[in-house]
Structures are given as C-alpha cells and as structure tokens.
DNA sequence: TTGAAAGCGCTAACAG
DNA sequence: CTGTTAGCGCTTTCAA
C-alpha cells in the first residue's frame, strides 16, 4: 500500500492528451465548455491513465465535498437502517455519498457529530434529532440541515403521520368492541413516541375510553418479549405497539406463553418493517415510508446545495397507509 | 445557511494570538513543539474565535482524511450493525470517522464503492467481502485494506471461529441422542455460511450422521419464520441456524404452530445478537464478538496508517464462546 | 475554445 | 521555539 508515486494527476492527463490542465479540468466537470474533439481526447487520456480527481483539492476550492451526513440514533432499529440505506442509494445517483453517524440518541453526541462533520459535508439530515431547535438552526446558518421524524421550527422537516394511522387502527378496535387497550411505548425521551402516545390517549378519551400505557422501552426485540407477560396479565384485549420490532418480540413471547393472536388478543404496530413478509395471516400495521423519508431528506439537501442561496426546501408530512387485517378481532368473550 | 464570510481561518487565529500561522498550526496539531505560553495563547484565540481547521486543506497536504470506510453488505443484519457501531466508536477515540457504505452484498457495488472512496479515506475495512482477492489486493497497494469475516490471502483479516463453535454445539446434540439435525443456511453466496455449513456437514459425517441443509435464505426474521414449517415437517429433532435473527423468526413461527422448544425440538444459532436479553430460558448460541471485529479492523487500519510503511498488521481469528443451555434437550421420544 | 496564472487553507521544510 | 517560504492538486478568473 501507499504508493504516492503512481497516483495520476491532472497534469499527467493534460500531458497525455496534449492540452493544458485547465482544459482537462473543464472537460471533466463542464463537458459543454470544450470542443467535442478535445473532450474525446481528454476522456480517452483520463480513462487510459485511470485518473480520479483528488477530492480534497476539489473540495478546497469549490467548498463542496460531495458528502451529506446522516445522523441516526442507532442502527439496530430497522426503521433507521431502511432510511439510511435509501438515503445512500438516492445520493449515489447524484454522485454523492452519505456519511452515517450513530449518535446513540444522545444530544451531546449528536452535537459533537454536527460540529465535527460540519467541515466535511455539504449538509446534514438528522433522524429523530435530540438537539434543541436552536442548536440545529445555528448549524443551519452555515450548512443546510434537514430534520427527519420531528418537526423543527425553521428547518425543512419530513415526518410521517403515524399518530393518525394509529388513530384509525384504534377506531377499528372500538368498532370491534374493545374497551381495554394497551400501548407499548417506545424509546424514552423520543419525540416520535411522545406524539404517538399522546395522540392515542387523547383519541381514546374522545371515545370515552382510556389506553393503558406500558413502557417506555428501547425498541428492541427482547424488550418486546420482556413486556409481553405484563401486558397479557393486564387484562387488555388489544395491544398497540410503538414499532414492529417490539411487536415481533411481544408476539414471540405470546407464542411461547400460548397466547393466541387474534383469538386472545388483537395486535397492531406502527412502522411496518419485516412484518409484511411474515408467513401466515398478515398483521395490522401503520405503513410508514421509512425509505421515502431518507430519499426526501437527500433530495431536499441536494436542492438546497444546488440553489446555493438560502432557499429553504419545503418540508412535508408523508402520508402513511394503514393495513387492517385479521390480527384485529372482537375481544374474547368473558372479559 | 451558507455564510462563507464568517468562517474563521488559521490567519484569523494567528492575528488574534499575535503569532504566525505556522505557529498556530503547530500548536494545534503538535502541541509539544511550541512553548507552553504560546500554546495557551493560541488555544485561547482558537477557542474564542471558534476555529475549526478546514479538513480539505489539511487532507490536501497531509494526504490523510481522517476517514476510514467500512463496506457492509447491509444494515438490516444486526451483526453488521453491531460491527459498524463498534468500529465508529473506536475510530472516534482516535479522532477519526468511519464512513459506512452499504454494498448490498453485490461484488459490483463493492468494487464501485472501493473505487469511489479511495481518494476520500485513509483505509478500508470490508465486511464479508464479495470481491475477488486480487481486486482487494490491488486497492491495498494504495490504501490499506482489512478484511472482516473472510480470510483473504495477502490481507490482514479478522474472522471468528464460528464453525468451531457450531461443531461443539453439534457434539452436544449427538451426546443428547439426536440423530436428525437440520441446518438453516444463511445468505446465498456467503463465505461465512459456506464455512459454517461445510464444517457442520463434515463434522456430522465424522459422527457417522448427516445434517440436512435448508435454505439458503436471506438472514431476515421473516425468512426464518417462513422456513419454520418445512423444518418442523422434516422430522428433525434439532435445528442449528445460520444466525440469531433467523432463529428468532423460526421460533416465532414455532410458537404460533405450537411447536415447543426444547420439548419438541432443540434449537441453537450462531451470532448471538438479541438472544441474550430474551426473557425465559436462555438459548444456546455461538457467541460471536461482532463489535470486537469492528474494533480490531479499525485498530489494524490505524496502525497501518501510522506505520506509514508497508507494515502489515497481523490478522486474527477471534475466539468464540459457546453458550450451551436447556434449549438443547434429548430428542422427543417416539422419533 | 483554450492556456496562463492565481490561489483555496493549511502544513512542512528551512532558517533564524 | 518561531517565522518565512513553498507548495498539496485542483478550479477558475482573465486574456488571447
């Protein structure tokens, strides 16, 4: 490794093509500014020598690195993983890369990542940001920042209407005759969970009922399994769950306990990930477009960088689908 | 956003501190080369102005970007996610960042990522590489490359002895009286799976038995669930599974089918992720140090970059633990 | 349409 | 221990 001798530079290409360095530069980055014949020569030379522009030199002068940073709380959550993967894919189409920084859902680490990466990237997408709005806006004065999964005043934000979807599922439960519903809450301190929970509780109150909240717990499979026993014992006839990973864990344990779905208990979750491909009867879920969030964020950043100015891309609340299936059934008699 | 006017440069700090630019540079990167008094002045000035060195300018001259790239097949696999997270954490301690590039387990995309990132990073860690050894070594001539989860001749490689661990679990099954064991195989084309499967089959043959192979399947929860029925119907009394995610999916479906563990079937998996925290009796597993792999790779890269020369860091096969529990039991009578 | 020249912001010799 | 002097490899005016 380490062969600083055989690296091909712009001059090498220029010499090979019999033109000047600036012509090579133009040919490669603004092909319409050179004569077709020259273009061909330069491309041929670059190709044959295996030239790849030094990104640092380019970044130094243009001020663009070709990187976007995506800050995510963790990678264990398949929702985040899906968002990150989609973001990378779309960025790649524009010749850009997405740097993923794991923050652990910790405001301090998030702030550190923001500060450290500021010089390395052209913009930030922050997934479920923990930082105060002011801190995010401060960064935004220098580099475009887009928020995902949380509305931040003054920033382009992309959210999904998961609370609304949960509400519709709740309505269906009431319609089926359920009166005792449990909600297994997600990550402590999570903005998303807060919204889902509050909406659900208020929504239930409007029906004259109430929802019993369990948790909050980390959105991990094992945590869902761990919560199953208490939920089953609580006497509820239906459970809504913060996300699909928790639901899988819960159902896993239900299976071992002999609790049947939906005969003994109806179940549904937000964030349909890995639920759709399950064998057997499908499970009721709010269909959140995890990948779409990542793509929207990248597209917005790209637009802001292109625009150069302070043009703020419009944010959106993405619609969610709701898949209502036989995992919802009337409450078992005698309850 | 975009305020190229108020960016603080080295000269600004120099002026503020009343010294030359090079002194500031030294003070910040090699503190032991300046007088304590100067150091204090410079640090004070840098702090008060909020100076952050331009990484592109630094990279241009030093040839170091402070980035390592980690190529992973996908982020849905919690094993990979754990490795990636640990790698980032260790790199952060050395003031470096890890760029995660998702390749989809596709050799072409892996090659593209290698080529595109070559100028942007100080080294590569490739998780479960798909590229031919020659291609990896070619990159290694210019930037250090470390292989994870596959031994690549001529490259520093970190692997885990998962096959050996599976063998020990298999021995225990034989000891318990099992004669009909199933193996649910992992990702098609995976080097890891190939090794696990072959070792297991040979190992079984030495006991005069044979292992029935199901799959291969993508290592996703739903795939494990989908495979459960066929496996249960095959008449085996024990199942070894490629990884823990698949096992969870399989057990999930077993639960719904009324198949009990371990009364009806004994189970075990490699790559213990998310298995340990499960409520109830623990599950037999090969304990693979996913995070440790990431840390080893980063440490090796750091060493190679420091060494500057062609000093090749030594690779290792990390030991695996084996947790043998009551998820293994004698085969049910009458089979 | 092309070339010459001037840096981008920083680090690394080299003197002093 | 510190300042001066050159660039790192590329893009981009400015003339020609």
Q: What is the mean pLDDT of each run of 10 residues along chain A (335 residues)?
A: 68 94 94 93 94 95 95 89 95 94 92 94 96 95 94 94 92 95 90 89 90 92 96 96 94 92 95 87 93 97 80 84 95 73
pLDDT for residue B310 is more than 70: no
Tell me the CA–C1' distance in angstroms for B68 and D9. Answer: 21
Q: What is the pLDDT of residue B325?
A: 95
Domains by residue range for chain A, with CATH: 10-53 (no CATH), 67-160+290-320 (3.40.50.2300), 162-288 (3.40.50.2300)
Note if the bond before A216 is cis, omega within 30 degrees: yes
Q: What is the pLDDT of residue A310?
A: 57
Q: For the residues B90-104, what does the mean pLDDT come to?
A: 94
Distances from the Cα of A146 to the Cα of A70, A77, A125, A151, A229, angstroms: 10, 20, 5, 10, 40
Contact A154, A99 (CB under 8 A): no
CA pair distance B62, A54, nearest whole angstrom: 13
Confidence category of residue B240, pLDDT binned at 50, 70, 90 = very high
Q: What is the pLDDT of residue A4?
A: 46
Greater confidence, B72 or A281? B72
Q: What is the pLDDT of residue B2?
A: 40
Kindly report which listed range (A130-144, A148-162, B7-21, B321-335) carries the lowest average pLDDT score.
B321-335
Q: What is the pLDDT of residue A147?
A: 97
CA pair distance B285, B84, nearest whole angstrom: 22
Q: What is the pLDDT of residue A332?
A: 85
Confidence category of residue B334, pLDDT binned at 50, 70, 90 = low
pLDDT for residue B19 is more than 90: yes
In this complex, do A279 and B253 lie within 8 Å of one another by their Cβ atoms?
A: yes
Q: What is the pLDDT of residue B5?
A: 58
Q: What is the pLDDT of residue A107?
A: 93
Please give the DSSP secondary-structure letter assigned to residue A109.
H
CA pair distance A13, A8, nearest whole angstrom: 8
CA pair distance A262, A327, nearest whole angstrom: 5
b vs e for B16-30, b when ≥16 Cβ sit within 10 Å of the residue's Cβ? Answer: bbebeeebbbbbbee
Confidence category of residue B92, pLDDT binned at 50, 70, 90 = very high
Tell me the CA–C1' distance in angstroms for B57 and D11. Answer: 14
Interface test with A, best of B67, B110, B255 (most A CBs within 10 A): B255
Q: What is the pLDDT of residue A334?
A: 60
Please give the DSSP secondary-structure letter assigned to residue B333.
T
Whether the CB of A140 is below 8 Å from some CB of chain B: the reply is: yes
pLDDT for residue B1 is more than 50: no
Chain B residues 26-85, Cβ below 7 A from strand C: 28-29, 51, 53-54, 57-58, 60-62
Whether any strand D atom is under 7 angstroms from the Cβ of B37: the reply reads: yes
What size, in residues, is chain B?
A: 335
Q: What is the pLDDT of residue A308?
A: 59
Q: For the residues B277-291, what does the mean pLDDT come to?
A: 92
In chain B, helix, strand, coil percent, each to 5?
A: 45, 15, 40
Q: Is B188 exposed, middle or buried (0-12, 13-18, 19+ CB in 10 A)?
A: exposed
Tell me the CA–C1' distance in angstroms for A309 and D7. Answer: 33
Task: Spell out which residues of chain A touch residue B232, defining contact as CB-CB under 8 Å.
Answer: none
Torsion, Cα of B30, B33, B36, B40 (10° steps): -40
Q: Where are the alpha helices (DSSP H) in A177-289?
A: 191-206, 221-233, 244-257
Q: For the residues B78-87, what does the mean pLDDT come to?
A: 93
Q: What is the pLDDT of residue A26?
A: 95
Q: What is the pLDDT of residue B230?
A: 97
CA pair distance A64, B26, nearest whole angstrom: 26
Contact A172, A328 (CB under 8 A): yes
Q: What is the pLDDT of residue B274?
A: 81
Whether the CB of B277 is below 8 Å from some CB of chain A: the reply is: yes
Q: For the residues B210-232, what does the mean pLDDT come to?
A: 94
Three-class DSSP category at B102? strand
pLDDT for residue B136 is more than 70: yes
Comparing CB atoms, the residue among B54, B278, B310 nearest residue A119 is: B54
Q: For the residues B53-58, what does the mean pLDDT come to?
A: 96
């Amino acid at each position: 490794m380490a062969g600083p001798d055989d690296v091909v530079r712009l001059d090498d290409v220029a010499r090979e093509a019999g033109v000047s360095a600036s012509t090579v530069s133009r040919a490669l980055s603004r092909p319409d500014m050179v004569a077709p014949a020259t273009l061909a020569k330069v491309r041929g030379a670059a190709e044959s020598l295996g030239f790849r522009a030094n990104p640092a030199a380019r970044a130094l002068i243009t001020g663009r690195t070709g990187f976007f940073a995506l800050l995510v709380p963790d990678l264990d959550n398949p929702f985040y993983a899906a968002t990150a993967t989609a973001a990378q894919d779309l960025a790649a189409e524009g010749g850009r890369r997405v740097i993923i920084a794991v923050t652990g859902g910790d405001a301090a680490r998030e702030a550190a990542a923001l500060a450290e990466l500021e010089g390395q990237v052209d913009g930030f997408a922050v997934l479920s940001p923990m930082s105060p709005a002011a801190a995010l806006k401060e960064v935004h004065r220098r580099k475009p920042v887009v928020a995902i999964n949380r509305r931040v005043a003054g920033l382009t934000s992309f959210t999904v209407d998961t609370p609304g979807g949960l509400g519709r599922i709740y309505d269906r439960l009431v319609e089926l005759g359920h009166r005792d519903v449990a909600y297994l809450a997600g990550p402590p301190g999570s903005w998303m969970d807060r919204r889902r929970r509050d909406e659900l509780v208020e929504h239930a109150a409007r029906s004259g009922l109430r929802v019993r909240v369990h948790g909050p717990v980390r959105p991990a499979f094992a945590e869902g399994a761990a919560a199953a026993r208490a939920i089953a014992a609580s006497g509820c006839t239906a459970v809504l769950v913060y996300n699909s990973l928790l639901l899988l864990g819960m159902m896993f344990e239900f299976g071992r306990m002999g609790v049947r779905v939906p005969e003994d208990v109806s179940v549904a979750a937000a964030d349909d990930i890995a639920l759709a491909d399950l064998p057997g009867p499908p499970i009721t879920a709010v269909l959140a477009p995890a990948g779409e969030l990542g793509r929207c964020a990248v597209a917005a950043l790209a637009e802001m960088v292109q625009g150069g100015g302070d043009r703020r891309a419009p944010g959106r609340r993405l619609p969610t689908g709701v898949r209502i299936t036989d995992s919802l059934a009337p409450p078992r008699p005698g309850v």
